[in-house]
A and B are shown apart, each in its own frame.
Chain A
């Protein structure tokens, strides 16, 4: 998005508050962890209230500093969520492709965000755990037994279901098309991801970065000094190559947490 327009002003990073929401055990924390430190941490402590992480990213010539609020998924923490999504500029609503109810919950989160949160909020819908439904080639071995027990959520949420080579697609409860259609209708970014393999994770944050009205944020945070409108041309050209964000393997800038 806004490219040269920004170039003059930004050597300083832009803060973007992002919140992760979704049903319990869909892998929110794993998504964040993959993004922030490109790794899995076995048995992460559960999220009480919300966890807070930051990650700097470079998008073209701009540095974004994501402030990520990873919220607790258990239903009873729901009433606390407004505390975390208030003022958020972006949200990632995560569901589990192997669990149909999780998409319902995601929809209700989206509804809530669209009504209660910052009106300009950029929302991305992420169907996580696609590794479980992909052909055996991409998910080698039985994941639950492999040393990467990382996604404890995965292992427990779908107990005993080792996506063997036989028919992994049968695990899928949310067809990609259905979720995609919903996302389009609701005006969301949409991704299918796997925190385990890393698939699609960085893309979420890249696309969000592109869609965020950065000029607005700058204007807002700088107060009077900020330039008023986001006059910068929305150059449709998305030069992926120039974007730091889109390379999954690259270790990120120092993670601040």
Chain B
């Protein structure tokens, strides 16, 4: 009753390019499903050293930095990556001029649509600068063709900043005259009616007292800033901008600035109408997420007037629902309602939707995912930072066993909105959007630091929480109430908090957080995975006869299968589950796997469900494992699918395995019989007998020698003999009676249909000692639960070569390498392939003399030797291939001679031969490791000695190999077409 997700494994560290995109808040390419994706959008990228200055006299200094073109955006960051930066959609650029300047200076003047001039001096070499310019020109052309330029004007009308700026001047409109490098439309044909977007605050008031917040003067400062430095799409962020943000954004501008600073404005700009369409497309749709959302609508900032009205509630509903439709995998997580409610006070639904997208996707990655891995990870990171920056507090917490995250988790999850009074929380949010996720950590650390002394007094979680609650409630108080200096008295605790955050914890950078996340990621993933493993096992309705550990191994195999053959994504875990009618048996979504995944799963567990080839080519030995496909496996899949869903759950797998792994002889025979009895009438038809025989042949396909083949052929002979014999006359015997009589007199029901009943089958099987032992032990034993190696990076401990190896050994590289060495191996005659038998108990009863003679006496091994070589196979193989769990000794149990079978069994010759080869080869691996320069020489030299032997073995193998399969086929064919013997 649980879902299993392998999503965490798919995490990839962002590439450098992506990091740059993240830094500039660019929408990730292709983040939206197909909307707005022009084919011409082969994103051109280039960066160049540049010096930025504004075209206005006496404005700020010039800043050296880097200019990036990442079509359709132009971005700049000063060298320190924080003083000055901008991200501008190319479509807002109206004119680009090469400036006539002193010789040797290459400068461009960019005019944006609202008339600001940005001067960039390209300080790279001339050809580089030329290249950059031509890229820029091309990119601009594309934007023009896409008609994006046209969209700008309409779009900016939705921005409050325009209204703000234009009340006193009309830069925007005078601006048109200068034409531009690329001619563009003069005016919007249909001037949009809609004015700027705004939030609920416009109607229901913004929290806080405007006077106290000094709204008026903030607005004035911002108006000046925006006029000089651009706004919304074209905002240039100078140090002044950050300072203004830190004193708190004015309420009316807040929504837009959040949108601009976080970069969600670019999403809204490039996806006009998306939000409405999304809602429209999904009208009336209900999902688990929408149900969860309903529950929380009235509990989101309920004290705010806007959310005591239907208007506010339905806006909140729409935004949350829209997001859950957009990202069904994430859906809805509690705390998102608080964020959404908060931002809706300041911005329109559409703005909020995109901001939510940026929050969940980029700023708080994984925070709200079903596993909440991002939250857990950042809590871990925060703890590490506390340990580093505030070791005394950290130690005290350890001593009294207080968990930091009981308090800090909601801080991060709801951006402090849930923890402190709103007006303060919003100012933290201001900084968060402006300065990035590090702000959450800085503020968190500052809170602890400021309360350090009291924190050292607390004794338990409860005390910690109470202390925090009291502190947050007092944020508006003076930080220094007893100071004689009135100015010091005027400083509130909140101001103190921000001061400490940004002064004392300025060492915390986004890079640091990224690297800390890297440090703890696998730890967190591991703990989430083991948690879900534990709960998956705990939630099993029945463990069958498995111990919890064994169930764990089954889970591991399932998990691995899901990682490698993920269930189709478009079929969500529970497609055809709950029919609302059957109350009571209603089920939670449950992970189920389909046939493909099942095949992989089974190949991990059942020896015959995989094709294993031991390949040795003179350079390396490895075991290639492939998933076997056979009708039998499909049959098993449907046999275990007791609820007929076309997919198996963990529980199904447990019960299925339980049905075969613990059986004794008789049970196994019955199990096998039932598996092939399609209509479950207690009889096999003739066809089914044939199918059953094919299954035998499939399972025994890699067994060495003729024993199994013989057994199967005897089986068929006997089965048909008995079947036919019992077919004709007496039609009226009672089945029950028959069963009691142990198959002496099976029924003769109409021809063709029922043919062989269980009792007969049993008798036929028991007549053959090979089959008997197969059902007695081997069948059950062919299902093996073995600990899988950790699926994280392959850890190989043996020296330099391995290290190099593991760094270059991506899967594809490995395959190519394998093929390459195989080829070489073939040319130098050292390539050999051995199939590993699935059962491996019987070798041939009588070994052909000719083949036998190929084995030189030295190749005969004592048991200990061969097991030793098995070990070596194991080590070698694990070091060369990460995905294989290799254990040659699985063939072990089969090696012991079976007393009942009479004649002595020689160890499997093929394995044997392989082992010899492996034994001979092992030293080279060590040589290689020591001295990889001489690799080839060593190899050749060493190889010489055994060349002859190897050749012999080679010849032997090939002859034998093909001979066997030929025979296999022939026999099978013969059998299939064989007339029943009378």
Which A residues lie at the B interface, using CB under 8 A?
Answer: 15, 17, 24-25, 42-50, 52, 54, 67, 72, 74-80, 83-84, 87, 100-101, 104, 108, 111-112, 115, 149, 152-153, 156-157, 159, 173, 256
Given A84-B406, A100-B583, A152-B295, does the pair A76, B371 have CB atoms closer than 8 Å?
Answer: yes
Chain B window 412-427, contacts with chain A (Cβ cutoff 8 Å), 1 for yes, 0 for no = 0110001000000000
Contact of B295 among A15, A24, A48, A108 (CB under 8 A): A24
Question: Which residues on the B side are within 8 Å of A101 (C-beta)?
Answer: 586, 588
A249 CA to B60 CA, complexed, in Å: 70
Which residue on chain A has the smallest CB distance to residue B406?
Answer: A83
Interface 0/1 of B330-349, CB less than 8 Å to A: 00011101100000000000
| Chain A: minimal CB distance from B440 (Å) | 14
Total A-B Cβ pairs within 8 A: 103
Contacts A74-B333, A108-B1, A157-B295: A48 and B338 contacting too (C-beta < 8 A)? yes
Minimum Cβ distance to chain B for residue A220 (Å): 13
Given the known interface contacts A24-B292, A76-B371, A101-B588, the answer about A152 and B334 at a Cβ–Cβ threshold of 8 Å is: no
User: Does residue B462 face the partner (Cβ distance < 8 Å to A)?
Assistant: yes
User: Would B334 and A47 count as touching, CB distance under 8 A?
Assistant: yes
Task: Contact check, A50 vs B406: say whether CB atoms are below 8 A apart.
Answer: yes
Q: Give me 7 A-to-B residue pairs in the complex whose CB atoms sit less than 8 angstroms apart, sorted by A's number.
A: A43-B299, A45-B338, A74-B333, A77-B372, A111-B539, A112-B535, A159-B294
Q: Are A79 and B538 in contact (CB under 8 A)?
A: no
Docked-complex contact A52 and B531, CB < 8 angstroms: no
Name the CB-closest residue of B to A68: B462
Known: A46-B299, A80-B376. 9 other contacts (CB 8 A): A42-B302, A48-B335, A49-B410, A74-B333, A76-B370, A76-B372, A83-B405, A87-B401, A104-B1
B292 near A74 with CB under 8 A, answer: yes
> Which of A25, A77, A79, A157 is within 8 Å of B531, CB to CB?
A79
Contact of B298 with A by CB under 8 A: yes
Residues in B neighbouring A173, C-beta threshold 8 A: 583-584
Query: Which residue of A46, A112, A153 is within 8 Å of B300 (Cβ)?
Result: A46
B residues 360-416 with Cβ under 8 Å of A?
A: 368-372, 376, 401, 403, 405-406, 409-410, 413-414
Q: Which single member of A25, A84, A100 contacts B584 (CB below 8 Å)?
A: A100
Q: How large is the interface on B (under 10, 10 to 19, 20 to 34, 35 or more residues)?
A: 35 or more
Is A77's CB under 8 angstroms from B334's CB? Answer: yes
Closest B residue by C-beta to A79: B531
Give which listed residue, B418, B460, B532, B584, contacts A45 with CB less than 8 A. Answer: B418
Question: Of residues 549 to 590 in B, which have CB atoms within 8 Å of A's CB atoms?
Answer: 583-584, 586, 588
Instruction: Report the minimum CB–CB distance from A53 to chain B (whole Å).
Output: 10
Which parts of B77-106 form the interface with A (CB within 8 Å)? none
**Chain B residues within an 8 Å CB radius of A156:** 294-295
Give 1 or 0 for each of B454-479: 1 = CB within 8 Å of chain A CB.
Answer: 00000011100110000000000000
Q: Does B296 contact A (CB under 8 A)?
A: yes
**A49/B538 in contact, CB under 8 A:** no
- Given A45-B418, A100-B586, verify A80-B372 contact (CB < 8 Å): yes
Tell whether B305 is near chain A: CB-to-CB under 8 Å. no
Q: Which residues of B contact A256 (CB under 8 A)?
A: 466
Complexed CA–CA distance, A83 and B405 (Å): 8
Does B884 make an interface contact (CB < 8 A)?
no
Asked whether A52 lies within 8 Å of B295 as measured between CB atoms, the reply is no
Least CB distance from A162 to B in Å reads 17
Q: Give the residues in chain A near B338, CB-CB below 8 Å.
A: 45-46, 48
Q: How far is the CA of A25 from the CA of B299 in the complex (A)?
A: 12
B133 part of interface (Cβ distance < 8 Å): no
B528 within 8 A of A: yes
A111 contact from B299, B409, B538, Cβ within 8 A: B538
Q: Which of B573-611 contact A (CB under 8 A)?
A: 583-584, 586, 588
Contacting residue for B371 out of A54, A67, A79, A104, CB 8 A: A79
Q: How many Å lie between the Cα of A157 and that of B461 in the bound state?
A: 32
Complex CA–CA separation, A79 to B375 (angstroms): 11
Question: Shortest CB–CB separation between residue B217 and chain A, in angstroms?
Answer: 33
Residues from chain B with a CB closer than 8 A to the CB of A149 are 298
Identify which of residues 260-294 in chain B touch chain A, using a CB-to-CB cut-off of 8 Å: 292, 294
Partner of A79, one of B296, B465, B528: B528
A76 interface neighbour in B300, B333, B539, Cβ under 8 Å? B333
Q: Cβ of A78 and Cβ of B535 under 8 Å apart? A: yes
Interchain CA distance A49-B412 in the complex, whole Å: 11
Note all chain B residues with C-beta closer than 8 A to A153. 295
